[in-house]
Homo-oligomer: A and B are copies of this chain.
Amino acid sequence: MTRAPASRAIEHTPLWLKLSSYLVLSDEEKSYLSDLERTIVREPPRTDLLQQGERYRDVRIMRDGWAIRHKALPDGRRQVVNFVLPGDLIGMYCTLFESADHSVTTLTAVEVASFPPERIGELFRSFPRLAAALAWSGAREEAIVAERLLSLGRRTALERTAHLIVELLRRLSIVNMAADGHFVLPVTQEILADALGLSIVHINRTLRRLRDSGLIELNGQRITVNDVRQLASVGQFDELYLHLIRAPRRLERAFSGAHHHNGARPDGEDRPKA
């Protein structure tokens, strides 16, 4: 069961929360963003929002609930690439591709906003700062995948698992879905296994070790992290890759001054010399 967020102001939308930790959005940008989130769809758990191999349809913004992005081999082996949390985009740049190379499947009931891919062109043409912010969000997602690659390649099962738990805790706090070291993890052990490149049995063993050592507690889907510091240290967790810190000043400067909406021209400054 997910929280039920009726219509809410754009200021409380998870995407806005995430982006605003990166740059200050103007009113026009805010209202355009909120317009992108106008069409809202609800889907039950275990629904495919996107299927590997299919041509793209709409771009989605996750507003509430959990999903996984995963890829499968022809023989059925499967890898969960990332968890899709509120504020994350689904198929953003992928719309620029011929067809999807991954699937996205809901874990809980979700609420997603949906807009046609044509609007991406519009977005890039008319709201360059917003476009850059979304590019930033995409780059951040890539950084998360790269960190998971490091996990699968070079961390042990115990380290990987600890690392993932701390990562989720951090990411969930950004969108106010975790407090006090505990959160709901709407996930079977099979999915954890597929995310960490382990077998179900071994994930089970590993969780047990974490519980036995008192680092975490599990009650149903509620997970409690008793000692974040220590868990982070077990997982060699360094939050640098989540890029929670604001972009350096020079970029704010690069973008300041020139918000233009539909068709406007960039006011003079800094014109490219071709």
Contact = CB atoms under 8 A, between A and B. Distances in A.
Nearest to A73: B236
Contacts of A92: 139
Interface stretch (A167-175, A206-214, A262-270): A262-270
Contact of A254 (B53, B117, B245, B265): B117
A253 interface: yes
A126 interface: yes
A96 B132 contact: yes
Quickly give the copy total for this chain: 2
A136 interface: yes
Contact of A35 (B81, B138, B262, B273): B273
A148 interface: yes
A247 B98 CA distance: 5
A73 B121 contact: no
Contact of A146 (B81, B128, B265): B81
Interface stretch (A39-47, A150-158, A181-189, A216-224): A150-158
A56 interface: yes
A121 B79 contact: no
B98 A246 contact: yes
Contacts of A74: 236, 238
A125 B128 contact: yes
Nearest to A271: B126
A145 interface: yes
A261 interface: yes
Nearest to A270: B122
Q: Which of A31, A147, A246, A274 has the most CB of B within 10 A?
A: A274
A135 interface: yes
A146 B102 contact: yes
A71 interface: yes
Contacts of A271: 126, 262
B149 A248 contact: no
A118 interface: yes
Nearest to A124: B128
Given A93-B139, A94-B139, A128-B128, A266 B261 contact: yes
A99 interface: yes
A143 B32 contact: no
A12 interface: no
Contacts of A258: 125, 262-263
A251 interface: yes
A32 B141 CA distance: 28
6 contacts: A81-B150, A96-B136, A97-B245, A121-B132, A125-B128, A142-B142
Given A97-B247, A124-B129, A261-B266, 20 more contacts: A22-B96, A35-B273, A73-B155, A77-B155, A92-B139, A93-B136, A98-B246, A99-B240, A101-B147, A117-B251, A118-B251, A118-B254, A120-B132, A123-B272, A124-B128, A124-B132, A145-B149, A148-B149, A154-B197, A262-B271
